[in-house]
């Protein structure tokens, strides 16, 4: 089966945008059903948009591990979305690495007795 025919740049780019737009509405719909107000939060929607834009390229990169043809085709036709996916992935990994670790706090910082 020729998978590279389905990887035309415009198809992947359009699918990435559609997934990003769909992901933006998942959290507000969940918040609506759980009764939280407000349902739409600009900060959450922005994070969800970037998550959605990065989702398709990251999945494509995972698929590229298994096929050299998919890797070559993806890198030739979808450079912008691959770069966006990589940047968002790096930002989230760095965010996790630089986040304060609660296990490294001293007892006085955690509200325990200080000596």
> Is 70 exceeded by the pLDDT of residue 91?
yes
Structure confidence by residue, pLDDT tens digits, 25-81: 888 888 888 887 777 888 888 888 888 888 888 888 788 888 888 778 777 777 777
- From the number of C-beta atoms within 10 Å of its C-beta (0-12, 13-18, 19+), residue 12 rates as buried
- In the chain, what are the domain boundaries? 3-97
Helix axes 79-98, 42-64, angle to 10 degrees: 110
pTM: 0.62
Q: Give residue 2's pLDDT band: very low, low, confident or very high (50, 70, 90).
A: low
Assess contact for 81 and 16: CB atoms under 8 A: yes
> Is 60 exceeded by the pLDDT of residue 3?
no
């Amino acid at each position: 089966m020729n998978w590279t025919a389905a990887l035309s740049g415009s198809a992947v780019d359009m699918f990435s945008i559609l997934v990003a737009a769909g992901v933006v509405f998942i959290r507000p719909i969940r918040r609506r059903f759980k009764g939280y107000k407000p349902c739409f939060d600009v900060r959450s929607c922005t994070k969800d948009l970037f998550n959605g834009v990065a989702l398709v390229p990251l999945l494509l990169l995972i698929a590229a591990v298994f096929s050299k043809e998919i890797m070559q085709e993806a890198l030739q036709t979808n450079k912008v979305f691959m770069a966006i996916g990589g940047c968002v992935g790096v930002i989230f990994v760095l965010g996790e690495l630089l986040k304060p670790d609660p296990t490294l706090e001293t007892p006085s910082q955690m509200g325990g007795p200080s000596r």
